[in-house]
Amino acid sequence: MSNLATTAHDAGKLVGFALRPRQTPWTSTEYAGLLERYESDSQFRAIVDGLTEGLGMRIVDVSTQGLFLSAAEGSPFRLAAEDYRQGMSAQDRVLHGVIQVAIAAFTFPKADVLDQDDTVAPAHITPTKLAEYIRNFAEAHAAKSPQEDQEEESVHRRTWREALARAVTMETSGGKESSRSLTGMCRYALNFLESQGLMRVVDAENSVYQGTTAYRVRLKYRAAHELLTLMRTTPPPKPAN
């Protein structure tokens, strides 16, 4: 291959590494080497930048931690609701959206931590604690909200009402946790983020998760959300005695 073709080939490999959810420079010396080349080789960097733009993606951060991409509207790499979970009702979509915001608020309760390059470890989180956190927030918000007529009820108020309507734990006849319960939905959300390389399991037996560098970087560029700001005012549940 020509030098240009070789460079383009290597640029594609770097983007390929970035698109693999669990791939990190710490587990691949080739990935780490390509990141160093991106910083030092202007021609290589220009080709990587052009390749990602052509694929409908934006580079949000590049460091020794990895190449982090965000898919633009219309990109074939942009996740849709059906990619997250098929067959969701309108209420389920709203509640799963609340759950994802709650995970961000619980994991990084202070916004300035997002800029600290992993010097502060994200909080450990479990499906049960997350469900309690959401319920606590919903109850606090409902108590502060003015009385509203049913037809004038805001979308936010309906969301809190839906969260409160979900039992924190609800078991099936077989004694298993239901996927329809708030805790079950929280478990699904955390498992999905883990499959995308945004959470790691630190204690499988007790279902303890922790946000990854990739999760922190993505939140850094997508954290301007009113609900996220509100949820950060709700303290996480205290550990059981």
pLDDT tens-digit profile of 127-155? 999 998 888 887 776 666 555 545 455 67
**Which pLDDT score is estimated for 240?**
46
Q: Are residues 150 and 224 in the same domain?
A: yes
DSSP letter for 20, please: S
Q: Which structural domain, as residue segments, surrounds residue 37? A: 3-71
Q: Are residues 105 and 224 in the same domain?
A: yes
pTM (2 d.p.): 0.77
The alpha carbon of residue 118 and the mean position of all alpha carbons in its chain are separated, in whole angstroms, by 16
Q: What is the mean pLDDT of the chain?
A: 81
Token code pair at residue 44: 């290589």
> CA-CA distance, 85 to 104, in Å (whole number)?
19
Token code pair at residue 66: 């990895």
Q: Who has greater pLDDT, 190 or 231?
A: 190
Beta strand 66-71 pairing with 57-63: antiparallel
Q: Are residues 114 and 199 in the same domain?
A: yes
Confidence of residue 241 (pLDDT cuts 50, 70, 90): very low
Q: Are residues 96 and 143 in the same domain?
A: yes
Q: Are residues 36 and 101 in the same domain?
A: no
Q: Are residues 225 and 121 in the same domain?
A: yes
Q: Which among 84, 170, 171 is positioned nearest to 135, based on CA atoms?
A: 170
Q: Are residues 126 and 162 in the same domain?
A: yes
**pLDDT above 90: percentage of residues in the chain:** 33
Q: Are residues 223 and 104 in the same domain?
A: yes
Q: Which among 209, 173, 169 is positioned nearest to 192, based on CA atoms?
A: 209
